[in-house]
Structure 1
Amino acid sequence: MYVRVNMVEFNSNGGMHEALTIWRKNAAQWMTGAQLLFTMKTSEKSAMYISVYKSQEDAENALDGRQKYVDAMGDLVHDVFYHEGDMDFAFLNTEILKHEMVESL
């Protein structure tokens, strides 16, 4: 498995909420090959986006979708960067799949 972690700092709290709404509406379509998409608000104006793929090749193929999101965010963003690499460990309690915030296709 291969993981990409995007860090985004927004110009405002409102801009972050607008961008997260765009992400929720389009992420599954844009991030082809993703096995898991996860977002976390890290402050009033920043968020972390985690994407998990079966392979590095799948992650590279999803870069076009990532760019679509970066373009859609436009002036809402102050800074964006990412780290990526092979997954070292994962644990999933299947109870999380019952949570109201979990969406599946």
Structure 2
Amino acid sequence: MNPAIASRWFVFPNILFLAPVPLATAAAALLTWRALHSRSEVLPFVGGIGLFVLSGIAISLYPMIVPHHFTLWEAASSDRTQAFLLVGTLALLPVILMYTSWSYWVFRGKVRADIGYH
């Protein structure tokens, strides 16, 4: 284990704050496992997202985005590039959401649970 990562998790003040993370991960894994045997589709999905968020990778590596090479700020694009992407996202995201909504509206009721590739 990397000494920097070990010191982040196991040194005194941090261990108090980070001790709930493995416990919450174990609880999320158990709940997700149990949800897989139910008829719910939402609970396993939410559990998977919870496991991803609670994985501890971000806690272990922060602020390194490329481990032991680049920090988050060194790997980020320039301010001009980020502004360009923001403008493009603000222009195209509403179009994508409207088209997706329209597609769902047009095809509503056309697919039933008893037909298809089941």
> In which range does the TM-score fall when normalised by the shorter chain?
under 0.3
Higher helix share: 2
Which entry has the higher C-alpha Rg, 1 or 2? 2
Considering Cα pairs closer than 8 Å and 6+ residues apart, tell me whether 1 or 2 has the greater RCO: 1
TM-score of the pair, normalised by structure 2: 0.23
TM-score of the pair, normalised by structure 1: 0.25
Higher strand share: 1
